[in-house]
Each structure stands twice: as C-alpha cells, then as structure tokens.
Amino acid sequence: MITSTGNAQVKELVRLMKKRKARDEAGVFLVEGPRMTGELLEDPEWRGQIEKVWMSESYARRHESGANAGEKATALPDGCRTELLSDAVFSHVSDTKTPQGILAVVRRREYSMQDVLGEDPGKALVAVLDNLQDPGNMGTIFRTAEAAGATGILMSSDCVDIYNPKVVRSTMGALLRMPFLCEDDLPAALEDLKKAGIRVYAAHLEGKEFYDREDYRRGTAFLIGNEGNGLREETARTAECMIRIPMEGKAESLNAAVAASILMYEASRQRRD
C-alpha cells in the first residue's frame, strides 16, 4: 500500500488528474467512483482499455467480502492491475470533495465519423458543439444526447476538454457509450456531414422558423454555440436552416444544454410518432 503523497506513481496520478497536457500525451483519462468504474469493468471493450485501478484502503476493506450496507461491490476481473492507497493519499489524488475510494486510468477509444453517424446516416442525429466551455453543459449534453437517441456528438477542438475529470463525472457514464469526434476544422467537418445527406440546423437568434416546424425524421445535425457568444459566423454559415426556440419575457437566450435538449427531444418525438 502506498502511504506517501511523494511517491512517484502518486505524483504521476495527480498530474494526470490535473493536467490536460499530461492526459493527452499519455492518451488516457480518469474515471472516479464505483458506478462508472463498475461500468468499465462490465463492458468487455472498455475493460481491455483499463490501465490500472486505484483503491483507498477503506474502500478495499469494505469490499473484501462483497458489498455491505447496501453498497454494490466493484468486481475486479482476474489480471486487472490494481494499487492500494492509504485514505489520506487517495483523498490527495481525488478530484472530489468526498472521495468514493476507487478510480481507474483508462486508455482512450478513437471514433470515426461513421461511428458518429451510426449504421444508417439517413437516420443519424448529431449534436454539434462549437466552442462550448462549461463542463456541466458538456456533461448534460452527453447525457441528454444518449437519452434522446442521438447517434453521436461532433465538437470543435477548442471545446472544454471532454476528458476533464469534471466533464467525465458530469456525463454520468454517457461518455463511455456516446461516440464523439473533436475537429480542428469544424466547418469542413460539417460540409462532410452534408455530403453524407445530413441536414444541418443552427439554433440561432436570427432563425426565421420555430424549431418545431421543421422535419427531423431524416439525418439531422443541430449546431449549438458557445455559452456567451453563440455560434461563430463561419460555423453558422454551414447551416442549411436557422431555427429558433421561442422565448417569453426578457430572456435573450437559453442555456446551451437546455437548447440542445429541446432540439434533440423534438427530433426524438418526431421519430417516435
């Protein structure tokens, strides 16, 4: 068991937790908590991506003989590399105020545009995020996209780091199930979508049509812009149709995640009818 925060492995773990550059160079991300770690371990594809599982002394002790006090034990498969940390050292490493006692270092999976569009591009539903910066918004959009039946997410490379521990945590596991791509040239990627038969809609204050008057039953992509500035002009120009969500009172705009949720669920509704 490691009992010192000066340990080289612990220092590297802290660096991965806090530094995007370190995660990018290593090609990994961190998953914390029994729920998401358990999901990784239960999925054969993700299980093979786990580099190491770290546990606090008290967590390991509680789960030595299975779950107790209503907790679900995280079953570690044979051959899974594990490391035990004292509770104090685990708290030092953890990104949360109340550490849950288990985290995993995981190799990233690479997705293609085909993954984002799904098996039938004619039925694709894609959320396209332009310079989104709030970790909570990003996590909410991932969760809502999955719940609404979206096939994938496309985002500009200057969005908030999808592997930021706060973003990973806020996706509540949707990150493990929702294909996504980060693009340096988002307008060019959108042109590729259109060539694949995807109709591109921009949620925009200058939209002439209300969002619920369009037909989203075929391949559809919704453009969602930055929280403060909205869509960049070069991104908005790629849209074939600008739509707007009606608002009462003095509200000037909706939260980005709320707008994305309304649009994706309207598409979901139409496809169920």
| Mean pLDDT on 200-218 | 90
Please determine, for residue 67, whether its predicted confidence score (pLDDT) is greater than 70.
no
d(CA 118, CA 121): 6
Please determine, for residue 48, whether its predicted confidence score (pLDDT) is greater than 60.
yes
| Mean pLDDT on 234-243 | 95
Residue 75 or 129, more confident: 129
Whole-angstrom CA distances from 125 to 56, 113, 219, 247 are 41, 12, 6, 24
Determine phi and psi for 266, rounding to 5 degrees: -65, -40
Residue 170 makes CB contacts below 8 A (sequence gap 6+) with 135, 136, 138, 139, 140, 143
pLDDT at 75: 60
- Please name the residue ranges forming H helices in the chain: 8-18, 20-26, 34-42, 44-47, 57-62, 87-93, 113-117, 135-148, 165-170, 186-195, 233-236, 256-272
Please determine, for residue 69, whether its predicted confidence score (pLDDT) is greater than 50.
no
Q: List, in order of start, the domains of the chain with CATH numbers.
A: 8-107 (3.30.1330.30), 113-272 (3.40.1280.10)
Tokens of 20: 């995007």
| Mean pLDDT on 212-230 | 94
| Mean residue pLDDT across the chain | 92
Whole-angstrom CA distances from 247 to 126, 141, 204 are 24, 21, 12
Q: Which of 65-79, 197-211, 238-252 has the lowest mean pLDDT?
A: 65-79
Percent of all residues in the chain with a pLDDT value above 90, rounded to a whole number: 82
| Residue at 152: amino acid letter | G
pTM: 0.90
Percent of all residues in the chain with a pLDDT value above 70, rounded to a whole number: 95
d(CA 261, CA 264): 5
Please determine, for residue 53, whether its predicted confidence score (pLDDT) is greater than 50.
yes
